Amino acid sequence: MPLPDPDTASPPPSRVAGLLSLTLLTGTVNGVSRVALPLYAASLGAEAWQVGLTGGMGYTGMLLLALPMGAWIDRHGSRPLFLRGIALAATLYLLLAGSHAVWQAVLLTALLGLVVPLRAIPIHTEFLAILPSLSPSRAGWNRAANMTGMFFLGPAISAAAIAAVGFSRVFAGVACGLLVAGLVGRRVLGSVTAGPAGVDAPLAERVRLQFELLRGHADLRRTMAIDFLTQMAVAYFVVFGIVLAVRVAGMPLQLAAGLVTFQGAVYVVTLLAAGKLVARLPAGRCYRVALALLAAECLLYGLAPQPMMLWIGAGLMGVGVGVQGLLSTARFADMMRQYGRGRIGGLTAVAPPAGGVLGAIGGGVLSQHLGIAAGFLALGVAFTLAALLPRFAAPAR
């Protein structure tokens, strides 16, 4: 029996629970991989650039395929694309379990990065499609489920499993987890729905329509720009915040790594607890608060890198990113109702990985020449300007 159209009907609670479970499961699989893949490459004797490549291919896949994925979702639906992505990824992980050379691990990891969008974008698009019919308090639930799996459950499982059974069995287990995700996705993801005009056009034309929408929709550009800037700051914080804490603040490595965990925990709590409050307040005011909190975190890390200030800054970032995530999710869901799943679903997947790449790689170049604190100061100035510019910080509601 076909699923009800989530754009016009309230989804049954079982479908919402299924989508969140699917997000948690795929986030956990991604979290296991984020830890296991670079460690496996290093255990085979990979050089530093090869280890870095294994950690960055997920971003590359999202950047390359985000817009085509939007076009394909409009034409084929979320479910078929997700199931193909699951089948491809499970096969690659099984091949990875039998690999014993650095070049094999790097090649298979690169291919795995390219199929990440086939799993991630359909789930995200499906949740945005049903969000207008849900309570505002649930706007952050999907991101919270993904974060919990990717940054808490996944790394913990990965570390314990690698020590207990080794890399090959871990990768085989990941393949099994993906197959379970495929069974869940088959039940909760939608097939083809009525899309906007042009879904039967050639792929290049459908991608062009997405660029045309972006060029003509100022609110979409602003929301994506805020997403980009926020993810750039998060990536810089994750990569260089720990280094700053150890080298400048003199914190032990284990305690310094706790800054990232603390920031992630505050972020998840904000997503789960603040949805209803954020929905009641004017969007412009909430955006300014989020941008001001992110500016404060960056300035604290740039000007006062002492242990107490670093903990306070990590907490401020968790709240700021959470509030920004709630606002952007709601905005994208509203736009999806107007312009269709694929066009918005694909576009929303572009800014976060682009910001992540620039924050990590561009931040590394800046830090090498001017120091880590200078990178945080530059981000602090950018967030301050963003908070003060009325047209930037107050997208239309």
> What number is the average pLDDT over the span 307-318?
95
Tell me, what's the pLDDT at 77?
A: 86
Average pLDDT over residues 135-139: 77
- Work out the angle at residue 375's Cα, subtended by the Cα atoms of residues 372 and 376, and round it to the nearest 5 degrees: 95
What is d(CA 38, CA 50) in angstroms, rounded to the nearest whole number? 9
CATH architecture observed for domain 13-191: Up-down Bundle (1.20)
| Predicted TM-score of the model (pTM) | 0.81
Mean pLDDT score, 134-155: 85
Q: What is the mean pLDDT of residues 211-215?
A: 85
Q: For position 276, what pLDDT does the model report?
A: 87
Where does the pLDDT of residue 29 fall: very low under 50, low under 70, confident under 90, or very high at 90 and above? very high
Mean pLDDT, the chain, rounded, equals 85
Say whether pLDDT at 212 is over 60. yes
pLDDT at 185 over 60: yes
Q: What residue ranges do the domains of the chain occupy? A: 13-191, 210-393
Could you read off the pLDDT of 31-55 as tens digits, one per residue? 898 888 888 888 888 876 777 666 6
pLDDT value for 118: 92
Q: Is residue 175 left, alpha or beta, with left meaning phi > 0 and alpha meaning psi from -120 to 50?
A: alpha
Predicted local confidence at residue 382, as pLDDT: 95
- Fold exhibited by the domain 210-393: Growth Hormone; Chain: A; (1.20.1250)
- Which residue shows structure tokens 């993904």? 146
* Percent of the chain at pLDDT exceeding 70: 91
Summarised one tens digit per residue, pLDDT across range 86-131 is 999 999 999 999 998 989 998 998 899 889 899 998 998 898 888 8
How far is residue 66's CA from residue 119's CA, in Å, rounded to a whole number? 11
Q: What is the spatial distance between Cα 162 and Cα 277, in angstroms, rounded to a whole number?
A: 42
Tens-place pLDDT, residues 70-87: 888 888 888 999 999 999
Quick: pLDDT tens for 221-272: 999 999 999 999 998 888 788 888 988 989 887 788 788 889 989 999 999 9
Please indicate whether residue 395 or residue 312 has the higher confidence score (pLDDT). Answer: 312
Q: Of 27-41, 182-196, 329-343, 358-372, which gets the smallest average pLDDT?
A: 182-196
Pairwise CA distance, residues 32 & 42, whole Å: 16
Distances (CA, A) of 356 to 136, 172, 226, 259, 363: 27, 29, 13, 18, 10
Arithmetic mean of pLDDT, 367-392: 89
Q: In the predicted model, is pLDDT for residue 3 greater than 70?
A: no
The band of 302, judged by pLDDT with boundaries at 50, 70 and 90, is very high
Distance (Å, rounded) from C-alpha 136 to C-alpha 278? Answer: 8
pLDDT band at 196 (very low <50, low <70, confident <90, very high): low
d(CA 247, CA 243): 6
pLDDT > 60? residue 6: no
pLDDT digits (tens, 9 = 90+) for 266-293: 999 999 998 888 888 888 889 999 999 9
Compute how many other C-beta atoms are within 10 angstroms of the C-beta atom of residue 210. Answer: 23
Phi, psi of 46 (to 5 degrees): -65, 150
